[in-house]
Amino acid sequence: GAVVSQHPSWVICKSGTSVKIECRSLDFQATTMFWYRQFPKKSLMLMATSNEGSKATYEQGVEKDKFLINHASLTLSTLTVTSAHPEDSSFYICSALEPTGGEKLFFGSGTQLSVL
Amino acid sequence: SQQGEEDPQALSIQEGENATMNCSYKTSINNLQWYRQNSGRGLVHLILIRSNEREKHSGRLRVTLDTSKKSSSLLITASRAADTASYFCATVSSGSARQLTFGSGTQLTVLP
């Protein structure tokens, strides 16, 4: 099946710093990628839809200046958490739609962010 | 807001037993999907059932969909310890541009 690679797997940073998370589709081109946030033992909350070559579409309540999304190529989307604070600590997961895969999503392995 | 609510939140069974998880949703859907997540990992797609389908099988998995009740169930037969994971239903609403909305998940523990 299609492979989505997400890096880093975990990151610890100081409050006030920015963190970039990469999501790559390794064997297919993804015009659309999705970014989710997950709290412990909770469901996935959609943060934004990332479209190649255009601005991301953010869900209600998600600060676009806080969570910068760039989808500069058909195989790479990045999420930058700017000026991170402890409340931003969470598990972030990306996913992508594979063109021939129908409606199912292929997920990255997730990034655990801990802000001290 | 959450589209799907899953029941039970947690389920613990013995190896070899069947596990049934239920999912309810609120809006009209195009399809419903089930995913599995091992702790601290990404999600893996298990099975997709379309709104005009009532039942689907894949190996030890059986999914049913009742659009009149806006509910779905996932049955895992002859469970194994390796089936221990969280299971999520996710819906694609009609006209939602292929956006998935996830349920709250069921944590399944299969005891050896």
How sure is the predictor about B2, in pLDDT bands with cuts at 50, 70 and 90? Answer: very low
CA distance A113 to B10: 26
How sure is the predictor about A41, in pLDDT bands with cuts at 50, 70 and 90? Answer: confident
Cβ B41–A6 below 8 Å, yes or no? no
Cβ B48–A102 below 8 Å, yes or no? yes
A107 has a pLDDT exceeding 80: yes
Mean pLDDT value of segment A45-64: 91
Closest of A59, A103, A97 to residue B92, by C-alpha: A103
Cross-chain CB nearest to B102 (options A41, A44, A108):
A44
pLDDT tens, position by position, A12-34: 999 999 999 999 999 888 888 99
CA nearest A113 in B: which residue?
B40
- HSE, CB side, 13 Å, CA atoms: give it for residue A41: 4
CA nearest B42 in A: which residue?
A109
| Token pair belonging to B102 | 């996830």
Answer yes or no: are the C-beta atoms of B89 and B6 closer than 8 Å: yes
Average pLDDT over all residues of chain B? 91
Order across the sheet with A67-73: list the strands.
Answer: A4-7, A19-25, A76-81, A67-73
Q: What is the pLDDT of residue A110?
A: 95
A104 vs A108 pLDDT, higher one = A108
Q: A15 to chain B nearest CA, in Å?
A: 23
Q: What is the pLDDT of residue A76?
A: 93
Closest of B7, B20, B19 to residue B81, by C-alpha: B19
A34 reaches B (C-beta below 8 A):
yes
Mutate to test the interface with B, among A104, A113, A114 (most CBs of B within 10 A): A104
What residues contact A43, with CB distance under 8 A and at least 6 apart? B2, B88, B102, B103, B104, B105
CA nearest B105 in A: which residue?
A43
